[in-house]
Structure 1
């Protein structure tokens, strides 16, 4: 748009003042000078007409077809999504092992289909998609969900994120069970929120209680939460979020395609294919 306006101004200036660029000897214009002057006028008219058409066409199309602007935006979004999915596809193919290495997993570890899930335990939309994914894993039998615990709400989700990653060091099944409990139960209350100075301590205590229910060694879990594996996995989660431009949760990569937001069961099944 800016360049179009600049070219339009240049065209107008050429039309009004272009004759001054032609050097004339004497009072009588030469044939060459006349031809050059006409060429300048022609070029300026072409520039002006082209710019006016470029500026006016979207307005005209929007007035005659109100859906034009929406269709244009949709086309641009589809192009951006295609480019993003290409980048995701190339990275996942080259780095699948590293992406999975320290992450908790639901379902068969050797499943045919892989879903990566960036989620936050204090995110209500994550709880919704968690339920949908649980149905998918149960119904299909050939799907695994790789949990990328993206702690974006600070102390509300730090302890749960670390605990589930650390739980994998004891048992992937127990890690999945702890993840399920954290998503289905409230591990902090509105009363807990009133005293922020003790909030982290209360959340830690509640998470450990749920870990014990899941059959985990709580003392070992607390040690592992501050260990190198958890630190490495959280860094991997953040690095991948930056690479894939993930700014919120939930966010899914199904196969080799990106899906931001809490998508429903049917859309997940469709994305998985056969």
Structure 2
């Protein structure tokens, strides 16, 4: 928060304190609260000087509220691109809760969190994941992303996603095609679709969206107006908390 913003915030806080009955600010043994404006101003000033944590906590709360409001604004602005039909999905197609994951099949943290996400979807049958492959790990990742986009048009996508996320070592175009072939996908059709301009545009749009949302780490999960970055130890707990919030309060930005 900038100094100017802090000053404005402090003004708001003080104005709010003066506009309401400040009984809650009075210690049990304090003198009666002055009734006149000058006395009340002095009372509040003395209280804040003696209890500076009140201002600190209020400023922190205001900053958090501003961050949430800004996040909602950005997500609403890009709502269609985030939840656009056509992105590969796994989970319940009629889900109440949607989690958007920005990832890369060669991202070690994406692979590390995948078993936890798979369990989360199984334990929460009212959820689904929209997968945004940003292909940030080089040419191999870009080639795999094209194959995945193309393969998603053939159905049975969840099996392919599972197989690619559980691979060991670098996933290349050749390996991705071998995996798809083993799962019964039409490889000639995948190759044709992967090379199509439409697939390139889809991938470019995803990468542009990631830039607009300042996605600088994978995986990144968006649930409602909340985001979870990387592979935190409490990933499942955070996902559960945010999913429950969406169930109870709806989603303003979905």
* Among 102, 125, 144, the residue aligned to 1:141: 125
Please state how far the C-alpha of 1:168 moved relative to its aligned partner. Answer: 1.1
d(CA) in 2 for partners of 1:206, 1:74: 49
Instruction: Give 3-state SS (helix, strand or coil) of 2:71's partner.
Output: helix
Seen in structure 2, the aligned counterparts of structure 1 residues 187 and 128 have a Cα distance that, compared at 3 Å, is closer
Check conservation: 2:220, 2:230, Cα contact below 8 A.
yes
d(CA) in 1 for partners of 2:148, 2:68: 33
The within-5 A match list for 1:68-217 is: 78=64, 81-91=67-77, 94-95=79-80, 99-171=83-155, 174-186=156-168, 188=170, 203-217=172-186
1:268 and 2:247 are equivalent in the alignment: no
Check conservation: 1:106, 1:146, Cα contact below 8 A.
yes
Please state how far the C-alpha of 1:211 moved relative to its aligned partner. Answer: 0.8
Check conservation: 2:140, 2:173, Cα contact below 8 A.
no
Tell me what 1:26 maps to: none
Seen in structure 2, the aligned counterparts of structure 1 residues 208 and 140 have a Cα distance that, compared at 3 Å, is same
d(CA) in 2 for partners of 1:85, 1:176: 30
Tell me what 1:11 maps to: none
Please state how far the C-alpha of 1:77 moved relative to its aligned partner. Answer: 7.1
- Please list every run of 5 or more consecutive structure 1 residues that lacks an aligned counterpart in the other structure: 5-64, 189-201
Check conservation: 1:89, 1:257, Cα contact below 8 A.
no
Please state how far the C-alpha of 1:74 moved relative to its aligned partner. Answer: 6.9
Q: Which structure has the greater CA radius of gyration?
A: 1
Please state how far the C-alpha of 1:260 moved relative to its aligned partner. Answer: 2.0
Q: CA RMSD in A?
A: 3.1
- TM-score, normalised via structure 1 length: 0.62
Instruction: Give 3-state SS (helix, strand or coil) of 1:157's partner.
Output: helix
- TM-score, normalised via structure 2 length: 0.66
Structure 1 residue ranges, 4+ long, deviating more than 3 angstroms after superposition: 71-81
Check conservation: 1:122, 1:153, Cα contact below 8 A.
yes
Instruction: Give 3-state SS (helix, strand or coil) of 1:262's partner.
Output: coil
d(CA) in 1 for partners of 2:169, 2:68: 39
Please state how far the C-alpha of 1:87 moved relative to its aligned partner. Answer: 2.1
- Please list every run of 5 or more consecutive structure 2 residues that lacks an aligned counterpart in the other structure: 5-52, 248-254
Please state how far the C-alpha of 1:181 moved relative to its aligned partner. Answer: 0.9
d(CA) in 1 for partners of 2:59, 2:147: 42
Instruction: Give 3-state SS (helix, strand or coil) of 2:179's partner.
Output: helix
C-alpha distance after superposition, 1:143-191 (max 9, x if no partner): 11000001111123112211111111111xx222111111101253xxx
